[in-house]
Amino acid sequence: MDSRNSLYASISAISSGILLSFVLHNPYSVPNIYSDIVSFWSRIWVSQGQFPYVQSFFEYPTISGLILYSARVIGGNLIGYYDAFSFFSFIAAIGVAWSSWKITRTIGRNLNPVFFLMPSIIIYGIYNFDLFHILFILLSLQALLIGRKSLSGIMLALAIATKLTSVVLIPVYLLEIKGSRERLKFIAIISSVFSMFNVPFILINFGNWFQTFTFLRNWGLEDAWYVWIFQNPASWDYAKYFGFGIMGVLLIRIYASKASLVTKTFLALAAYLLGTYIYAPQFNLLLIPLVAIVGLEDVSVYLWDAFNALIILTWFIQPNPVMAGSIPQIFALLRDVALVGMTLVLLNREGLLKATVVTRLFQRIRKQGVLDDFSSIRLNVIKSRFRREKLGSKTPTL
């Protein structure tokens, strides 16, 4: 497909998905599918237009709170608030398609518009703050690919101030930047921008601001695959350590790999999702544009997203949907298995599976001198055989 046509097709696809999402989650639609955005209206501080972090606690980072507050102020009532948030989401979605297209042009790939009509785009498009989050991540990645490191740092800071997940990308980007001075500058930019959106709230009402982090720390397992291992809620504190351990191991291996910047970005976010104790289904919006960018066209991708869409569609028919054995957790487990399959397919396609398992094994053997010793022994055997054949020796040879 022509490059410009793929852009127009991608914008059309994601716009269609967001429009369908708008209808599905509209508070006056029948039937109506749950969304976090509509549920927030039931909180008094939202419906009364109070300022988050100043007059009330909000469990999301500050840019998410500011987006929510802006929609409330512009909208005035429930339907106006929903329409305003939907409009913001629509603009963010167009930005996601455009930035994905720019990245694919930079790395020499073609953008497949089909990915922008994945089930999660439709089900979770007008749902939470994930479209804004991935937009900032993509803009940061786009800027770094063309060498605009300062702009990349600003965008990554905005992403972190929207949702904390993107903090795992800091080492990925730092390893891409050459020179200690440039890396320190990148960290300083991230710290400054993040502080700009947080320090005022810290000074005004530290308790409300800090409660965002304590709330997340105390949250239980939500759609994490290892709920099947830690089935007793009393053990969930240990489960979180287990998940962080897995996440840490995966991230270290990814940071040390020879993968490209785009592939590392995808793998780092996938590692986070496989290790975190909160893998809410809307988080799939983080990976879908990156799947489109790397061109990961495999059956595991479609299974991963189909299972993800089914989580919310079966959530309210279960008495306790967060527990192992419930239908939503079956779909969450299958989703995570498919995500593992996706990452393995990508690693294999990029030649990273072979590099990390087979090649490194032989490199380690060679470093220990084993291959050199074997080669010397083999060479001596060949020389000895040649001498015996020349002298007509009948001595048995190896």
| CA distance linking residue 10 with residue 20, whole number of Å | 15
Residue 384 has pLDDT above 60, yes or no: no
pLDDT at 1: 57
The tokens for 350 are 């990029």
Rounded average pLDDT over 156-163: 98
Contact 240, 90 (CB under 8 A): no
| C-alpha closest to that of 51 among 39, 65, 40 | 65
pLDDT at 2: 60
Give tens-digit pLDDT for 90-119: 999 999 999 999 999 999 999 999 999 999
| C-alpha closest to that of 335 among 251, 234, 222, 175 | 222
Rounded average pLDDT over 380-397: 44
Instruction: Count the neighbouring beta carbons within 10 Å of the beta carbon of residue 170.
Output: 17
Residue 373 has pLDDT above 60, yes or no: no
Residue 59 has pLDDT above 90, yes or no: yes
Residue 121 has pLDDT above 90, yes or no: yes
Percent helix, strand, coil in the chain, to 5, is 75, 0, 25
Contact 157, 190 (CB under 8 A): yes
ω before 31 within 30° of 0 (cis)?
Answer: yes
Q: pLDDT band at 366, cuts 50/70/90?
A: very low
Give tens-digit pLDDT for 324-354: 999 999 999 999 999 999 999 999 998 888 6
pLDDT at 147: 94
Q: pLDDT band at 300, cuts 50/70/90?
A: very high
Give the domain ranges of the chain: 3-350, 357-391
pTM of the model: 0.88
| C-alpha closest to that of 140 among 85, 66, 195, 190 | 190
Q: pLDDT band at 26, cuts 50/70/90?
A: very high
Give tens-digit pLDDT for 200-249: 999 999 999 999 999 999 999 999 999 999 999 999 999 999 999 999 99
Rounded average pLDDT over 53-62: 95
Residue 21 has pLDDT above 70, yes or no: yes
